[in-house]
């Protein structure tokens, strides 16, 4: 056996950042075991050497006779559109090599396994002969095979499990499949199916994903972070599981959300999978079913609150900064609103933090509204907004609309807020309720008599835009939609709550009850609807449009703090991606098919704004930020492995 550090290509820093699964292999298997190095390796100029696209094509066409390994060209860097994934690292070129075990262990390492795509030469070089059936198939064929495999399942959760299984076996194939079939597979790895997966998380997973930090680890969180095998982390998505989609407190089982969001960071935004870290903070759960379930995987105690909660979170935030530095992005996801706003407020000036439910959602909805104005006319200031739901998503969106309107009109924020109304579980938010309101609702308490029912609020406020962020399914009733349609020629109706079961109305209901006049989008996807012989394609208003590109923009520019203007920049970039063809179909969001291109534009716009505000630390500023963003993106094509001499 040769230890990983004996690889002559490995510099000290590369050793620190490399994955070595040698230890596991030693314990588990007695198969031949040696160190191999992956191309890329470094040429003398410090640039990364990769196989050329032409050579990759040759491999595809002639899988049984791979070209000589010496035929390599320089790649990576800004010219290499979607070519390599190194540019999101801290230095422009990071000299690294990775050591992996060969043989049986290599096949069981999801980061490096290629399955039947291992070439004849690789099979010889890496002790794989006999461990695989004799056929060699290219990655493209593997993708075709896998999509057929996923499609054979009728039950969404089975499709989800097939995808997770693939992710655990062959990471690059997982991402290639997801990228190439993004419209079809997004509802499988993300909402709505991820909601059901979280509900059943404890029983469907054989192998833990991500990092669990519970109250038991108090005082030792830095130690726990150091147990994670990757060192160069760029994005952490963290939840405490208290508000998972619209499904409530799922405790430790909320882990499905950070895992799913981070797979979108990679597939949609091109952030390297090894730079992504899903974390669940387990402070207990108030979900009685879970507390009484002997198979529940989390802490069986009621949720810690107050000082105990704050101390654990503070230790976590400090440990993250200590371990990964100032520039790691921490995305808060699906915290309950009584913690979410406070955490964002507390850490926004000391850490690079972003709350997806408050800020990402706001940015995506503002983009959809700006696009919708092209269909309905007028400026933001000409419209009146009514929300069902005044929590993270509702007040986050409301605040960004107000900010943008105020910038456009030079009117004070307090003045423009008066055009925006919110309804919570107790009715319309009005000034007579102000004393008892949570702090994030107070700015929305306008003078009005109390109104209890949504339909009455619609008839009294006469909104042009109705937005559902209540987490309560079927609350946009026939009466409500008909009222919107009687007030507006083209009512804008957004049912943002997830998963599908919690959507305020279905696409079919929105079109049917508005006689085909609604401009509709929903948080979870609905299939196209036919109404009176006309096809309607509903859009998906989901923060998945924003956070991957937004995060990439922060990372590639080395931005150290999130500023509201960055959210506006992301929003503007997304709205600009809606084409005439999309508008003709009534769409206010572009299709997800082009999401990597969209993400590159969002990233560029966010980075440009960060440079303008002096928040970006990566200097000099690249000239063409879109190209730079594209060059930073991870691509899941297999790499050629070569043996160490
Ligand atoms: N499409 C997307 O990208 C996103 C969608 N969402 C979805 O939005 C929903 C809400 O999330 P979030 O804002 O974080 O949750 P919060 O818990 O912060 O807010 C929920 C709000 O809905 C109100 N509410 C609950 N029941 C009713 C009811 N019957 N009538 C009127 N209002 C009601 C609550 O009222 P009260 O304050 O009185 O309790 C609260 O104001 C979830 O389903 C989530 O999945 C969230 C983020 C992004
Ligand atoms: C989409 C999302 O972030 C949510 O529903 O919570
Ligand atoms: Mg969320």
Instruction: Quick: pLDDT tens for 461-476.
Output: 999 999 999 999 999 9
Angle among Cα 431, 434, 438 to the nearest 5 degrees reads: 140
542 is in an annotated binding site: yes
Nearby residues of 466 by Cβ (< 8 Å), 6 or more positions away: 386, 387, 388, 458, 476, 480, 484, 491, 492, 493, 494
Question: 270 with 406, same domain?
Answer: no
**pLDDT over 70 for what percent of the chain?**
84
Q: Are strands 539-540 and 519-522 parallel, antiparallel or unpaired?
A: parallel
Q: What pLDDT sits at residue 582?
A: 95
Tell me the CA–centroid distance for residue 393 and ligand 3, in Å.
Answer: 9
Question: 512 with 566, same domain?
Answer: no
641 is catalytic: no
The answer to the question of residue 63 being in a domain is no
45 is in an annotated binding site: no
Taking the CA of residue 496 as reference, the ligand 1 atom at the shortest distance is: 1
Nearest to 395 by CA among 424, 430, 367, 371: 424
Average pLDDT, stretch 85-100? 44
The answer to the question of residue 211 being in a domain is yes
Structure tokens at 410: 């030079």
Which of 58-72, 171-185, 483-497 has the weakest average pLDDT?
58-72
Please tell me the residue having the least CA distance from ligand 2 atom 3.
357
C-beta separation of 116 from 135 below 8 A: yes
C-beta separation of 476 from 495 below 8 A: yes
Domain end marker among 298, 320, 355: 355
Cβ 4 under 6 angstroms from ligand 2: no
The answer to whether residue 22 scores a pLDDT higher than 50 is no
Question: Which ligand places an atom closest to the C-alpha of 498?
Answer: 1
Taking the CA of residue 424 as reference, the ligand 1 atom at the shortest distance is: 32
C-beta separation of 392 from 357 below 8 A: yes
The answer to the question of residue 418 being in a domain is yes
Cβ 542 under 6 angstroms from ligand 1: yes
Please tell me the residue having the least CA distance from ligand 1 atom 18.
391
Domain end marker among 355, 379, 406: 355
Question: 379 with 510, same domain?
Answer: yes
The answer to whether residue 137 scores a pLDDT higher than 90 is yes
Average pLDDT, the chain: 87
Average pLDDT, stretch 91-107? 60
For residue 570, what are the domain limits?
Answer: 546-632
Structure tokens at 503: 């959507």
190 is catalytic: yes
- CATH at 334: 3.40.50.10380
Cβ 196 under 6 angstroms from ligand 2: no
Question: 615 with 584, same domain?
Answer: yes
Q: How confident is the model at residue 21 (pLDDT cuts 50, 70, 90)?
A: very low
Q: What pLDDT sits at residue 268?
A: 98
Can you tell me which residue has the tokens 């999509």? 147
The answer to whether residue 405 scores a pLDDT higher than 80 is yes
For the entire predicted model, the pTM comes to 0.88
Structural domains of the chain, count: 3
Q: How confident is the model at residue 53 (pLDDT cuts 50, 70, 90)?
A: very low
Tell me the CA–centroid distance for residue 239 and ligand 3, in Å.
Answer: 9
The answer to the question of residue 303 being in a domain is yes
The answer to the question of residue 335 being in a domain is yes
Question: Which ligand places an atom closest to the C-alpha of 471?
Answer: 1
Question: 231 with 314, same domain?
Answer: yes
Residue/partner pairs of 122-125 with CB below 8 Å, 24 or more apart:
122/66, 122/640, 122/641, 125/36, 125/641, 125/642, 125/643
Domain end marker among 493, 515, 541: 541
Nearby residues of 163 by Cβ (< 8 Å), 6 or more positions away: 150, 174, 177, 178, 185, 188, 189
- CATH at 499: 3.40.50.720
Q: What sign does the dihedral 340-343-345-349 (CA atoms) show?
A: negative
Average pLDDT, stretch 253-278? 97
Q: Which phi and psi angles does 642 have, rounded to 5°?
A: -125, 155
Residue 2 or 405, more confident = 405
The answer to whether residue 639 scores a pLDDT higher than 70 is yes
Question: 350 with 378, same domain?
Answer: no
The answer to whether residue 20 scores a pLDDT higher than 50 is no
Q: What pLDDT sits at residue 99?
A: 56
Would you mind telling me the total number of residues written for the chain in this entry?
A: 645
**pLDDT over 90 for what percent of the chain?**
81
Q: What pLDDT sits at residue 644?
A: 53
């Amino acid at each position: 056996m040769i230890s990983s550090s004996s690889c002559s290509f490995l510099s000290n820093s590369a050793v620190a950042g490399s994955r070595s699964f040698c230890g596991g292999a030693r314990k588990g298997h007695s198969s031949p075991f040696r160190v191999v190095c992956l191309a890329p390796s470094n040429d003398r100029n410090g640039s990364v050497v990769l196989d050329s696209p032409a050579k990759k094509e040759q491999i595809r066409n002639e899988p049984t006779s791979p070209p000589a390994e010496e035929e390599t060209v320089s790649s990576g860097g800004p010219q290499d559109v979607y070519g390599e994934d190194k540019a999101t690292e801290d230095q422009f070129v990071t000299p690294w090599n990775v050591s992996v075990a060969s043989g049986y262990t290599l096949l069981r390492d999801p980061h490096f396994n290629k399955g039947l795509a291992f070439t004849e030469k690789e099979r010889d070089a890496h002790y794989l002969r006999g461990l695989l059936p004799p056929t060699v198939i290219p990655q493209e064929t593997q993708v075709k095979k896998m999509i057929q495999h996923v499609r054979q399942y009728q039950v969404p959760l089975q499709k989800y499990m097939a995808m997770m299984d693939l992710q655990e076996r062959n990471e690059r194939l997982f991402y290639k499949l997801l990228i190439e079939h993004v419209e079809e597979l997004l509802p499988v790895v993300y909402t709505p199916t991820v909601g059901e997966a979280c509900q059943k998380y404890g029983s469907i997973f054989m192998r833990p994903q991500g990092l669990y930090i519970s109250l038991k680890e108090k005082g030792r969180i830095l130690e726990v972070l150091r147990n994670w095998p990757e060192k160069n982390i760029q994005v952490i998505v963290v939840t405490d599981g208290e508000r998972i989609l619209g499904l409530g407190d799922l405790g430790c089982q909320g882990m499905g959300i950070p895992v799913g969001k981070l797979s979108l960071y990679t597939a949609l935004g091109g952030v390297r999978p090894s730079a992504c870290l899903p974390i669940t903070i387990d402070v207990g759960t108030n979900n009685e079913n879970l507390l009484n379930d002997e198979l529940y995987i989390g802490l069986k105690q009621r949720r810690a609150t107050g000082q105990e909660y704050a101390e654990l979170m503070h230790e976590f935030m400090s440990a993250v900064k200590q371990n990964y530095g100032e520039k790691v992005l921490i995305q808060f996801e699906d915290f309950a609103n009584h913690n979410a706003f406070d955490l964002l407020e507390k850490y926004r000036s000391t850490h690079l933090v972003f709350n997806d439910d408050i800020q990402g959602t706001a940015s995506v909805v503002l983009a959809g509204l700006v696009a919708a104005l092209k269909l309905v006319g007028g400026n933001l200031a000409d419209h009146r907004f009514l929300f069902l739901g005044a929590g993270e998503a509702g007040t986050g969106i409301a605040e960004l609309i107000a900010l943008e309107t105020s910038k456009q009109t030079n009117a004070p924020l307090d003045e423009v807020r008066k055009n925006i109304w919110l309804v919570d579980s107790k009715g319309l938010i009005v000034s007579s309720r102000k004393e008892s309101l949570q702090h994030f609702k107070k700015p929305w308490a306008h003078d009005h008599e109390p109104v209890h029912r949504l339909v009455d609020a619609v008839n009294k406020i006469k909104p042009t835009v109705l937005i559902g962020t209540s987490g309560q399914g079927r609350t946009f009733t026939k009466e409500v939609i008909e009222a919107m349609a009687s007030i507006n020629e083209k009512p804008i109706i957004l049912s943002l709550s997830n998963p599908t079961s919690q959507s305020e109305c279905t696409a079919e209901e929105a079109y049917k009850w508005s006689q085909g006049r609604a401009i509709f989008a929903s948080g979870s996807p609905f299939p196209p609807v036919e109404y009176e012989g006309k096809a309607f394609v509903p859009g998906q208003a989901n923060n998945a449009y924003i956070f991957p590109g937004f995060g990439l923009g922060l990372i590639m520019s080395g931005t150290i703090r999130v500023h509201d203007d960055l959210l506006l920049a992301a929003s503007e970039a997304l709205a600009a991606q809606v084409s005439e063809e999309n508008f003709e179909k009534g769409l206010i969001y572009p299709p997800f098919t082009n999401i990597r291109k969209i993400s590159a534009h969002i990233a560029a716009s966010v980075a440009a704004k960060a440079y303008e505000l002096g928040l970006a630390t990566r200097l000099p500023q690249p000239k063409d930020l879109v190209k730079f963003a594209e060059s930073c993106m991870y691509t899941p094509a297999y790499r050629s492995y070569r043996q160490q001499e």
